[in-house]
Amino acid sequence: MTPVELSRTVLHAVRRAVDEGELSVTVPERAVVTPPGPGGCGDYATGIALQLAGAAGQPPRRVAEILRARLAGEAFIDDVVVTGPGFLNFSLERDASALLVEEILRRGRRYGHAEGSSGTIVRLRCPAEVRAVVVADALARVLRSQGDLVRVTCDGRPAPEWETGLGVDAGHSGSCPHSLPHLDVTLHPAPAPADPLPLGRDAARWALLYPAAHDRPRITGDHLVQREANPLFRVRFTHARTRALLRNAADLGFHPEPGPVSDAEALLAALGDHPRILAATAAHRGPDRLARHLVSVADATLPLLPAVLPLGDEKPSAAHRARLALAEAAGAVLAGGLSLLGIDAPDHL
């Protein structure tokens, strides 16, 4: 069960409580589901009860208990605990992690993408400045992954090395169906202080996209250094390691098979959160959110990798196959995320 699916389940519980007269509220459009914070427990948590308490005219913990009773028996939820002022904390059944990995492997790099059109046109406009153009291109990719139809207009002609393949219309927005709702968005990120092209295309794009829009990007050789202090290196190295493990496992005669994996809660939470991150990146117009999320996925994946392959005379077991499947899923998320940022994810690094 992904956070998106868990959010739908929570909203369904709210709707049932309203229909049965225990809560008198308007059912919100979404319930924010995240890994639990300090004092929380389990796999995920939501503060929906605190959000509804005022309108319901009841204490948050009472609202939480009403919802807990309806959520405890849901499929793939092992336990629901109320903590603090009224947070609902969910522990998922162990099979839920295997189902998450199965879904990621089924969808591959498109995991987290919308399965249909949103019916919305987003018209992005940016100045003819290198960072603005790259941010517009990355944001357009993410918006399209969420089902939006996107048109990008640049106020002038970008430099040729950045215009090629960016999908940016210089000076015009192209034709859009007038019957569809549309949003007009103007992008003005802090400009690059220097030409990033000497870094190479991939490192240059990362240097421009990783900082928040209001932060001035650093155009330095640090983005090229192959060491752990370089976030881009960690992300691409982790992806390459997952691909190498798949090749090595095939040589040993075994293949990935989703199953329960111990001590991988942080990684499973990060993978499960990927669809929410893509939606938030689109909603807040911030490709930096996706870039930072990829670093989190990489950092949660690296501790898993040494235990994927059997050691010495050890025979491949179900645990090895499950860890290999989880590593492959992590690699798919990293490759898909880098692709949305317009950055290559090589199998060899």
Choose between 97 and 193: higher pLDDT: 193
Closest CA to 155 of 139, 174, 132: 132
pLDDT at 289: 97
The answer to whether residues 85 and 52 touch, using CB atoms and an 8 Å cutoff, is no
Q: What is the pLDDT of residues 145-190, one digit of tens each?
A: 999 999 999 888 777 777 654 554 444 444 555 567 788 999 999 9
Element (H, E) at 229: none
pLDDT mean over 101-128? 93
Structure tokens at 81: 């605990």
Which residues share a beta bridge with 171? none
User: Is residue 155 left, alpha or beta, with left meaning phi > 0 and alpha meaning psi from -120 to 50?
Assistant: beta
Closest CA to 136 of 122, 120, 147, 121: 122
pLDDT at 35: 82
Task: Kindly state the percentage of the chain with pLDDT values over 90.
Answer: 74
- Whole-model pTM: value is 0.77
Q: Other CB atoms closer than 10 Å to residue 221's CB: what's the count? A: 9
Q: What is the pLDDT of residues 200-228, one digit of tens each?
A: 999 999 999 999 999 999 999 999 999 99
Asked if pLDDT for residue 97 goes beyond 80, the answer is yes
Closest CA to 79 of 66, 68, 87: 68
pLDDT mean over 108-128? 92
End-to-end CA separation in angstroms for the chain: 33
Cα–Cα dist 42/68, whole Å: 14
Q: What is the pLDDT of residues 326-348, one digit of tens each?
A: 999 999 999 999 999 999 999 99
pLDDT mean over 312-331? 94
Element (H, E) at 114: none
Cα–Cα dist 213/2, whole Å: 29
Q: Other CB atoms closer than 10 Å to residue 325's CB: what's the count? A: 23
Choose between 79 and 161: higher pLDDT: 79
Choose between 95 and 16: higher pLDDT: 16
Q: Is 155 helix (H, G, I), strand (E, B) or coil?
A: strand
Q: What is the pLDDT of residues 237-295, one digit of tens each?
A: 999 999 999 999 999 999 999 988 888 888 998 999 999 999 999 999 999 999 999 99
Average the pLDDT over each of 32-41, 67-76, 163-172, 253-262 and give the range with the smallest value.
163-172
The answer to whether residues 141 and 124 touch, using CB atoms and an 8 Å cutoff, is no
Closest CA to 326 of 35, 104, 93, 90: 104
